[in-house]
Structure 1
Amino acid sequence: MKKKIALVTGGSRGLGKDMALRLSEKSFDVIFTFQNNQQLAESTLKEIEANGGKAKAIALDLCTLDSLEDFVSTLKEVLSSDFEGGGLDFLIHNAGMGGTIPFEQATEEQFDRFMNAHYKGVFFLTQKLLPLLNNDGGIITVSSGTTRFVNPGYSIYASMKGAIETLTKYLAKELGPRGIRANVVAPGPIETDFNNAAIRNNPQLKERLSSLSPLGRVGTAEDIGGVVAFLCSDDARWINAQRIEVSGGINT
């Protein structure tokens, strides 16, 4: 039986890496993107393959959208040569960038970069990949707990994620006739290298955020990947157009 194929953007490290690993454990073939660190991508590939999985990595920089057409062409070639010409079953939008930017200091250049990476890139990459997305598959987009609670300095980032959450409802409605589900996973504070490892490198911030959770800690990448893998399973076939916050109950 042919395995299902999932594409994870930003899958070479952090949350995306754990998503790729968890999907592989559930017998998915995985294609993931990386921005520019080939060494990290190779390391993730080896880890998946060491566990008996199959994966491929393709470079993609969503900060500049000029590369989308080339990426789609490369993806088609990879699907044809390495995956028996099959289409994608699940598209997971995880790639992104962080930055704590006070509202009064935000520049148009910063706004445009965040817009491309977190919203415009997601919008048009999804559009371009629709012909490759199999019926009865799904789209999962990573948002943020900061669309529900406010973290100063995240006005640009959270605004883009709020737009993604609205877009997801429209995708669910418009792609529903094809059996394609669309959902959002919204992590709370996670200790990774995201945003220059802001939580990992700041014990005071980590302690403050931990105190806001009933579970008394911040999250890890391993707290998120399994949720995404579940949403790609048949057990989640009736979950659609939902925002699922995975935050340990922060600010409850």
Structure 2
Amino acid sequence: MAVGTLEGKVALVTGGSRGIGRAVAQRLARDGAAVAVAYARDEAAAAETVERVSKDGGRAFALRAELGRHGDAARLWAAFDAAAGEHAPGGRLDIIVNNAGIGRSAPLASLSEDGFDEVFAVNVRAPFFIVQQGLSRLRDGGRIVNISSGAARLAMPEIIAYGATKGALDTFTLNLAKELGPRGITVNSVAPGIIDTDVNAGWLRGNPQAEAHAASLAALGRVGRPEDVADVVAFLASDDARWVTGRVVDATGGSGL
């Protein structure tokens, strides 16, 4: 995909301060989009993402919006609207990437009701209402990309609630694609496998055995990188993917084949 394919477009990436979200923000900006980097708490990390985009010649701006509480979508869009005059003229946008999520949950026997509610609030409820309240801002012909997980199709009892949230997100994707098709808006999920991010750093980095095991799960024989996922998102955000909607695109490197 040529650099500049998203020139003049505006994108929102939730959880854009690090990991996959940061890689997505950088890639979309490199392709020409002005990117709103939404983050929950880590202002320094969000500022670093914006700085990296700027050094690459792109445009980005940070929005603080902690997800997982009632009213979170409204607060996010209020922050977006406040920044729109400078960064998104008219308050309109072209791309929503629902990337923010909690990547953990306890097994069935030890999962508390509060833990269950938290992971569903961030991973399912927040994207639902971000889209619901963002549709008046999203242009016809726009793109919605939801970051799912290979855990939605593989049995992983140790993170049962997390996997369930991603299954719900894929169902959301399917129904949104049907709902928004008449407006020319495509909606797709991207499902990563094990990715070398800060979330997995504690057990993966500096542990040759863990890394070797994680790599062995993928048909391509290595651990995924954030850029591997970001490039798939960039395709789905581009005009090249105009005839793809309602799909879950596997980005696990062939895990579980």
Q: TM-score scaled to structure 2, two decimals? A: 0.93
d(CA) in 2 for partners of 1:2 and 1:118?
30
Q: Count how many residue pairs are aligned between Structure 1 and Structure 2.
A: 252
> Would you say 1:97 and 2:102 are equivalent positions?
yes
SS of the equivalent of 1:80 reads helix
d(CA) in 1 for partners of 2:248 and 2:203?
25
Matching residue of 1:240: 245
> Would you say 1:76 and 2:81 are equivalent positions?
yes
Deviations 1:33-90 (A, max 9, x none): 1111111111111110111111111011112233332221221121123322241101
d(CA) in 2 for partners of 1:41 and 1:16?
10
> Would you say 1:192 and 2:197 are equivalent positions?
yes
d(CA) in 2 for partners of 1:160 and 1:112?
11
Shift of 1:238: 0.6
Aligned-residue RMSD, C-alpha: 1.6
SS of the equivalent of 1:65 reads coil
Following superposition of structure 1 onto structure 2, how do residues 219-230 of structure 1 map, counting pairs within 5 Å? 219-230=224-235
Runs of 5+ consecutive residues of structure 2 not aligned to the other structure = 1-5
Q: What one-letter code is carried by the residue in structure 2 that aligns with 1:125?
A: I
SS of the equivalent of 2:175 reads helix
d(CA) in 2 for partners of 1:170 and 1:117?
19
Q: Which moved more, 1:94-103 or 1:11-20?
A: 94-103
SS of the equivalent of 2:12 reads strand
Aligned pair partner of 1:204 in 173, 191, 209? 209
Q: What one-letter code is carried by the residue in structure 2 that aligns with 1:243?
A: V
Following superposition of structure 1 onto structure 2, how do residues 64-213 of structure 1 map, counting pairs within 5 Å? 64-194=69-199, 197-200=202-205, 202-213=207-218
d(CA) in 1 for partners of 2:7 and 2:236?
19
Contact 2:16–2:39 (CA under 8 A) maintained in structure 1: yes
Contact 1:5–1:89 (CA under 8 A) maintained in structure 2: yes
Q: Which moved more, 1:73-82 or 1:239-248?
A: 73-82
Q: TM-score scaled to structure 1, two decimals? A: 0.95
Runs of 5+ consecutive residues of structure 1 not aligned to the other structure = none
What fraction of aligned residue pairs are identical, expressed as a percent? 38
SS of the equivalent of 2:232 reads helix
